[in-house]
Amino acid sequence: MTAGAWLTDIRATPVRAQQWWVLTTRLVTPAIKSGEVLSSIVAPAAFTASFYIPLKTVMTVIGTGFSSYAQFMMPIVILQACAFTAIGAAFRSATDVVAGIDRRFGSMPIGPLVPVAARMSGNMFRLCIAIATGLVCGHIIGFRFVLDAWHTLGFFAFSLLIGIVFTLGADVIGTVTKSPEATTQALVLPPLILGMLSTGLAPAEQFPSWIQPFVRNQPVSQFVIALRALAGDTKGNAGEVTWALMGPPLLWAGAIVVVCLPAAIRLSSRRA
């Protein structure tokens, strides 16, 4: 093989890691320069203030069984941070379809899964900022980790898992709907409805008896229960981290991944 042929062969061989890095910086760098990343900070802070300030006194009188309402409410702050990140993920994936970026990638020697992996990496960047902001807001209002370091790490890991699940599903929805505006509007209501009809802001006993089974068993409530157990509480009412407690939320997360991951792979493989 001649030197020229060897160089041509090397240049024609795409490096997936480099492609992923370039496409990831395409999403991260403009967000930092334009200030878009501030939405990942403002949204959790606004949610925390909007619900903690008016509900603290009421829920303290009613009682939650926890040492403070901040300890009780903290998981729903994390979940809403994940939901806000997911809405942005759906908007970006739909925008890529409308702008013809996915079609352009399909005509280039780019791995079929590289674009979706890059979008998920950009989503992870925003997700980490949103979760960190949520934890800072929780610390300000009085939330504390009361268990050992392993439980605290488990809290972080499970929060990231929920965020990845949400953003993966949102990325698929945005790719399928192909309308940034419609996708954003459609995804605003589910987190709001499921969040209000969950045990995130009030105990299940505060709801009418006919809807309590749904409130206890829907995925948001199950995620809340898991996060509370991982964070702990000084009164010991947060529950113990056992397979019986963690099984349902893990099954909910696994079910969403089982549905969305093959769909994301299939959509990415059909780009060309």
Per-residue confidence (pLDDT) for residue 165, from 0 to 100: 94
The tens digit of pLDDT for each residue in 104-146 reads 776 676 777 788 888 899 999 999 999 999 999 999 999 999 9
pLDDT-based confidence at 102, cuts 50/70/90? low
Per-residue confidence (pLDDT) for residue 238, from 0 to 100: 87
Q: Measure Cα distances from 138 to 47, 86, 132, 204, 272 in Å.
A: 11, 21, 10, 22, 45
The tens digit of pLDDT for each residue in 13-55 reads 567 788 888 888 888 888 787 777 888 899 999 999 999 998 8
CA–CA distance, 50 with 73 (Å, rounded to integer): 12
Per-residue confidence (pLDDT) for residue 31, from 0 to 100: 79
Is 271 within 8 Å of 103 (Cβ atoms)? yes
Q: Measure Cα distances from 175 to 5, 52, 87, 89, 112 in Å.
A: 39, 35, 13, 10, 14
Average pLDDT over every residue of 161-183: 88
Rounded to a whole number of angstroms, the distance between the first and last alpha carbons of the chain is 32
The tens digit of pLDDT for each residue in 222-266 reads 999 999 999 999 888 888 999 999 999 999 999 999 999 888 888
Return the amino acid letter for 113.
L
Is 23 within 8 Å of 118 (Cβ atoms)? yes
- Residue 6, pLDDT > 80, answer no
Return the amino acid letter for 165.
V
Q: Is 105 exposed, middle or buried (0-12, 13-18, 19+ CB in 10 A)?
A: buried
CA–CA distance, 257 with 249 (Å, rounded to integer): 13
CA–CA distance, 85 with 39 (Å, rounded to integer): 9
| Full-model pTM | 0.89
What the block records as the tokens of 98 is 């409308």
Per-residue confidence (pLDDT) for residue 222, from 0 to 100: 95
The tens digit of pLDDT for each residue in 173-226 reads 888 887 887 887 888 888 889 999 999 999 999 999 999 999 999 999 999 999
Per-residue confidence (pLDDT) for residue 208, from 0 to 100: 92
Residue that has been written with the tokens 């995925």 in this structure: 219
- Residue 10, pLDDT > 90, answer no
Per-residue confidence (pLDDT) for residue 236, from 0 to 100: 85
CA–CA distance, 126 with 142 (Å, rounded to integer): 24
235 contact partners, CB below 8 Å, separation of at least 6: 65, 66, 67
Residue that has been written with the tokens 């090397």 in this structure: 10
Per-residue confidence (pLDDT) for residue 270, from 0 to 100: 62
Torsion, Cα of 219, 262, 86, 194 (10° steps): -20
